[in-house]
Amino acid sequence: MRFVPLAAAGLAVLSLAACTAGKEGGPALGSQSKPTNTAPTALPAASIELWHGFSADSEVKAFTDAIAGFNKKYPQIKVKLVKGVQDEQITQAVRGGRPPDVASSFTTDSVATWCKSGVFQDLNPVIKQDGVDLSGLPPVVNDYTQYEGKRCVMPLLTDAYGLYYNKALMKGHQPPKTLSELTKLAKELTVRNPDGTIKVAGFIPSGQYYENTAGHWSAMVGAKWTNPDGTSAIGSDPAWKTLLNWQKELIDWYGYANLDKFRKGLGDEFSGKHPFYQGKVAMGIDGEWRVAMIANEAPKLDYGTAPMPVDDAKPDLYGSGFTAGTVIGVPKGAKNPEAAWALVKYLTTDTDALVTLANAIRNVPTTKAALESPALKKDEHFQTFLDIFANPKTSTIPAHVNSVFNQEALQGFITSWEKGSVKDLDAGLKGVDKTIDAKFKLSGG
């Protein structure tokens, strides 16, 4: 899976807060005088375009292979794939009256805005009409594909986050289950040079390091993002204080300047020079897709995977984690909405299609049938993430019209906090609430 910088993804979200979707194209799903009919023999010949965010050759091939199954079922429908498309491009195309028939995003950050503004069509009518059973979806997936009663996207694949650890550097230790165990082991596994600089880090607690985002971390302490009315809960939920106090204690043990210098000298996250591959970091938080990258970029690495450590006071959270996934839907104005829905339904409910994508991209499929398919490639490393995804306590960032803004506000605060620029944590977190709530009010919340 590839990730979009929050600032880039935010362009679409911030511009859509008070706008509606663009010009009309084809009829809206479920608006016809007769029910939508997606039976293979009922649909006329059509050419449809699917935009997606994947760009690596292996990922593009995976989509092509999955589409091949659709072509066998619907030979009269031709599908053109357009790769490397980001959320803001989808939004602008819809607003400009030039939408694709189908669009996919590998972030859930825009879902609330897309549903609320109508950039993507509500799929509830055709889901009901076609008898698509969504009861098998985990609650967290059910939540991140809809907003305020509108399900404007379907889940395609998902990510789950856990702990990766280098077995050689672990020196026989088992992976930590609590934050206190993580702290203790991180200190024990850290190796310093004679001058005190870091040679090997047991664990890097900086929010500026790769996958150490507030969203991924929130699952370790069961932290809340929002209140029922959509306002920020960050300043009132003590779980955030638990998380940040834990983080700061470990950063201070390393020394912020020392740790920052070490971090800045590490290799790129998406390259063969990743510090975990090179034995420079013993443990780290990462997604299930790293399993495939290690197989390609560091096949001899002896490593293990485990759930993320959790708050000592909440041991029942162990085994869960953070999840967020790829979503797909039919934009407003799609020229061939019936054919578009047929493709969306096929890619998100057909077991063979989901397994084909999951095996190639090494993301977690979202349906029970795909998860249990004997064709799904599993090993001890990947199984960890299947188990995390299936855990009922696994969480995500709740759908919100300002999802990107909210994350950026908290992430920026965390950067100031770990540097030592924040003297009063309570006041600082309440300040984050104030910033988020002011933006929410401007967005009509």
Q: Torsion angle, CA of 303/56/143/217, rounded to 10 degrees?
A: 40
Mean pLDDT of 367-373: 93
Answer with the residue of higher pLDDT: 280 or 38: 280
List, for residues 162-191, the tens digit of each pLDDT value: 999 999 999 999 999 999 999 999 999 999
Residue in 166, 393, 383, 172 with CA at minimum distance from that of residue 282: 166
Mean pLDDT, the chain, whole residue set: 92
In the block, tokens 């507030």 appear at: 214
Q: Is residue 410 scored above 70 in pLDDT?
A: yes
Structure tokens at 126: 């055709």
Contact 389, 430 (CB under 8 A): no
pLDDT of residue 34: 55
Beta-bridged to residue 160, according to DSSP, are 323
Residue 311, phi then psi, degrees to nearest 5: -50, 130
Answer with the residue of higher pLDDT: 324 or 30: 324
Domains of the chain: 6-159+323-390 (3.40.190.10), 161-317 (3.40.190.10)
Distance in angstroms (rounded) separating the CA atoms of residues 35 and 17: 32
Residue in 382, 246, 243 with CA at minimum distance from that of residue 306: 382
Calculate the alpha carbon distances from 151 to 9, 53, 188, 341, 444 in Å: 21, 21, 48, 13, 20
Question: What do you get for the CA distance between the two ends of the chain, in Å?
Answer: 32
Q: Angle 214-221/238-254 helices, nearest 10 degrees?
A: 110
List, for residues 208-260, the tens digit of each pLDDT value: 999 999 999 999 999 999 999 999 999 999 999 999 999 999 999 999 999 99
List, for residues 307-343, the tens digit of each pLDDT value: 999 999 999 999 999 999 999 999 999 999 999 999 9
Q: Is 262 exposed, middle or buried (0-12, 13-18, 19+ CB in 10 A)?
A: buried
